């Protein structure tokens, strides 16, 4: 478990993390999880980009989240409810890299929830755009 200075992503909620209720991952711990790439466009970027990170469904499985949705919280306290069903139906990604480069605060990092808008045109709607939280720091099981 990470110390506060090394915190990259906090995951918390009932049933989470072998009954501990919370885990704080470092970037290295996050990068050690199964990695996936999604190539897509977004409303906030030009053209298609390749995003790399961890699938939401993998985080749910690995850390035992048992709710129907998570509260995705950004650095600035913006948050959105993300139904876990989205992650089962689609390859929703917690991206830490864009085109091989680490996402920074200036370009929506450290983590950005990416929906595969190009592969699944039905996702290219405001309801899904609002769930694409950038500068993500926490997932809270609701």
pLDDT digits (tens, 9 = 90+) for 92-133: 999 999 999 999 999 999 999 999 999 999 999 999 999 999
Distance in angstroms (rounded) separating the CA atoms of residues 65 and 12? 8
Q: Radius of gyration (Cα) for the chain, nearest Å?
A: 14
- pLDDT for 31-59, tens place per residue? 999 999 999 999 999 999 999 999 999 99
Architecture of the CATH domain 4-141 = Alpha-Beta Complex (3.90)
Q: Where are the domains of the chain?
A: 4-141
Quick check: bond before 13 cis, omega within 30?
no
For the cut 50, the answer to whether the pLDDT of residue 3 exceeds it is no
Q: Over 80: is that where the pLDDT of 14 sits?
A: no
Query: Is it the case that residue 17 has pLDDT exceeding 90?
Result: no
**Mean pLDDT, residues 62-73 taken together:** 91
What local confidence, expressed as pLDDT, does residue 142 receive? 73
Q: According to the model, what pLDDT value does residue 132 have?
A: 98
- The pTM of this model reads 0.93
Given pLDDT bands bounded at 50, 70 and 90, which one contains residue 4?
low
- Residues whose CB is less than 8 angstroms from the CB of residue 63 and which lie 6 or more positions away in sequence, other chains included: 11, 16, 17, 23
Residue 28 DSSP label: H
């Amino acid at each position: 478990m990470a110390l506060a200075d090394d915190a990259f992503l906090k995951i918390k909620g009932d049933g989470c993390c072998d009954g501990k209720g919370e885990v704080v991952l470092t970037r290295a711990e996050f990068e050690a999880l199964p990695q996936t790439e999604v190539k897509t466009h977004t409303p906030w970027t030009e053209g298609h980009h390749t995003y790399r990170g961890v699938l939401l469904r993998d985080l749910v499985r690995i850390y035992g989240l048992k709710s129907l949705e998570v509260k995705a919280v950004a650095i600035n306290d913006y948050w959105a409810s993300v139904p876990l069903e989205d992650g089962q139906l689609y390859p929703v990604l917690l991206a830490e890299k864009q085109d091989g480069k680490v996402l920074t605060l200036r370009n929506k990092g450290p983590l950005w929830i990416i929906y595969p808008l190009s592969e699944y045109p039905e996702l290219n709607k405001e309801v899904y755009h609002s769930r694409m939280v950038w500068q993500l720091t926490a997932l809270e099981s609701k």
